[in-house]
Every structure is written in structure tokens, then in C-alpha cells.
Amino acid sequence: MKFFLPYWEDWVHRDFDPVADTYSGGYESSLFAHEIFNPPPYDGILLSLGMFEFKLKLLKVNGRPTIRGYENVKEYLRVGSLNIPIMGDCGAFTYVNEKEPLLTVDEAVKTYSLLGFDYGISVDHICSDVILVEDGKEGVFSYKNKTRSRGKQKIELSEEELEFRRRISLENAEEFLKKAEGFHPVGAAQGYSVETYLDSIGSLIEMGYDFIALGGLVPRETRFISELLLALKGKGFLKKAKFHLLGVLRRELLPLMRDLSIYSFDSASYLRKAWLKATKNYLGVDGRWYTSIRVPDCHNSRLKKRSGEIPANLEDMERRILKGLREYDRGELKSYGELLEEIIAYDRLFLRNEFREEKYRELYRELLESKIWKKCSCPVCRELGIDVVIFRGSNRNRRRGFHNVHVFYKELQGLKADAGKRLEQFSEEER
């Protein structure tokens, strides 16, 4: 069971100095997780063509697609010598609110082929129960009902509309397989029930696909995914093709996925929890999630909203907190009580949503008391020390995300090595 890490230009600066808070350059100074950890904390990388629209701006030079001047995705990611396969998908989530996919089969095939992807997933359309559209655009869809949400129309698609999306995915997959060249084609299976997923999978196998990616599962309940995976076995599909789960990482599902010999899956959840979650940003080697301590830059623009209340000694306050945390890390500060209160006072200035003093005081106390970062021997924790659990800027936050992925990957390797826990841990009802 292989783990692919989705990539959205998640790199850090090679020359980052956490004490001076300095770094230089852009991509030319980049450092990827697979260049920090040996071996890399993943088996492959998933790169979505939808990312180009938002970040990389896929440019064409003499008719060829390029990424930051590179004509080969492996050269851009610097994985040539590491034997890390690159899988591409069409980024269906970027056009989920559209009537039809915005990417054509020809465009996807050309991009996968010319950029040197190892695997390319066919152009699909997510069978999402609910989508958001601009006012006036709901008329092109068949839907059950609509409501206003965030200034848009929130519409619940009809079964007819969901079936339309599923059929488009299958039609594209058939054309995609005929035109694929230079990479291993992967058929995207979409559905809105276990039965429709199975029908899509059966159709893809009949077309000739030997590798199938199950899409649209992220919002599904774990029970639904479990039922679908067990149905794959019941239908005999697991003997006819390899399967990849797009965007799915559920700890409780991993034993079942292993026992059914699911080939691969991808998820960026452990990476992005490091900076997107209000709490539970650092995965300890004890398997527990800890909340990183927020010490934002005192020049943060959010402070301007309370310019009249900003203490004159704010920079000194920030500097004193960072110094105190590092002294505590080195054992020079025996008691963290006063430091913790200063952190809370500083944190209060930034008007964070859902900021509850007692909650964060206890979460920060739990982290400081555990010194969990000192129990990890990974290169990120060894290099940064307590800075790995300080929520402050992308260089710390992404490195913390790399650490999270590393800890999860070690757990995954242990799970794969443990052949003793079989399907018996799932109840008859789940089967």
C-alpha cells in the first residue's frame, strides 16, 4: 500500500534561520521534503493539473508545457535519482461547480505525456451532492432545491445531474485510454452510491484499465468507503485492477485497505494540519496531536485593526516570548508559568476566531509540559528544536507539516509490517 503526497508547491527555504527569522530567494532556494528526509516520507507525489491554474501558471515554450522553465516534472521536483513516481490528476475539484469539466482529454493527455508523468488520471467530474454557483447560473443544472449561501446559490443536484457527471467521466475515460501515450493511464471512477461506483469500475475494467482511481470520496463517511472497498472484493475487481483512493486518509480505514491490498492512496491532511487547523498542528511520536504555540510576527497586518490598543513594547514582547521558549527548550527556564501568560496576552491581540483563553492556555501547557518535540529524532525536529512547534511563518509551519507526514509514514510502515491484524477487527455489520 503506497502513500502519495499531493503537491501544491509545498517547499521551504534551504537557508532559513529560525532565530534571525531570515531566508533568501524563491524557488531557487527551495528544499523539498524528500531532500530533507532519507528515505523520503512518501512513496510518490500526486500533482494536480488544477494547481497550475492557481500557482504554477503552466507556461508553454515553443508549444511545450513548462513548470518554472522545466520541461520535465521530475526535474522540477528533483526526484530523478530517488525513484519517486509522479501521478497526475485533472484537478476536478477546481471545476466541481461547473456544468462540465474545464479540461479536455487532449489537453490532459498532452500535459501528462510532455511533462513526463509516470501515471495520468483521466478527466472526470465529481458527483458532488451540493455545489455553489453564481446567481443566475443554476438554470443549467437539474437540482432538487436551492438556498443562499455565502452570496451564492447552494444547489442540491438531482440524481439525473449526478448521473450526467458520472457518464461524462466514463466517456472521457474511454477517449483518454485510446489517446494515452508515454505514461500509465489511470481510469477515474466516479459515483453517488456504492452501486454506481461499482458500475463505473466495471465499465473501466471492460475498457481495458488495469489501474483505477476512486474519486469523490473525501466527503463520504468512513462506513460508505468501507462498504465500497469490501464490495470491490466481493465483485472480484481487486483481482482485475489496482486501485488508488484519491484524497482519502482515515486511520480507521488503513487496516482494511492493507488487508484488501489497495495499491495506493493520497492525502495532504497531515501536512496541512500544521498550518490550517486551529488546534492539533503537531503529530507527536506518541501518536497524539498537539497544538502549536502561535507567536505571529508583530508586524502582522491583522494588528492594524486594533491600532489604538497595540502596546508600545510589542516588539519587545514578541522577542521576549521567542527567547523564553528557546530557553525553556534548552532547560535554562525551569518554570514556564509567566511565559505562558505572556504568550496568551500576546495571542489575544491578534483577534483570532474562536480564541478562548482557557482552552489555549491548557493546550499550550500540555505541549510545553510534554516537550514532545525533543522525543523526535527526525531532521526537522533536530534542526529546529522548539521552533518546530511555534506557529509562525511558512518555513516553520511547512517544516512542521513535513514532520507530521514523516511520523504518519512511519506509522504506515509499521501497519504494513503487522500482518497479524486482519479483517477480524471489523464488525460483521461493517462487512
Q: Which residues carry out catalysis? A: 89, 266
| DSSP per-residue string spanning 152-174 | EEEEEE-HHHHHHHHHHHHHHHH
306 to each of 33, 315, 346, 372, 413, how far by Cα in Å?
A: 38, 16, 13, 35, 49
Can you read off the three cell numbers belonging to residue 158? Answer: 438531482
Residue 141 near residue 161, CB atoms below 8 Å: yes
Using left for φ > 0, alpha for ψ between -120 and 50, and beta otherwise, residue 353 falls in beta
SS3 for 191?
Answer: coil
**Are the CB atoms for 238 and 229 separated by under 8 Å?**
no
| 8 A C-beta contact, residue 166 and residue 127 | yes
Beta bridge partners of 121: 186
How is the chain split among helix, strand and coil, in percent rounded to 5?
45, 15, 35
Q: Where are the beta strands (DSSP E) in 77-133?
A: 86-89, 119-121, 130-133
**What angle do the packed helices 357-370 and 337-348 form, to 10 degrees?**
140
Contact 398/274 with Cβ under 8 angstroms? yes
Long-range contacts, 31-34 (Cβ 8 Å, 24+): 32/77, 32/78, 33/5, 33/402, 33/405, 33/406, 34/78, 34/79, 34/82, 34/84
Return d(Cα 431, Cα 429) in angstroms, integer: 5
Distance between CA atoms of residues 246 and 411, nearest Å: 20
Residue 426 CA, chain-centre distance (Å), reads: 27
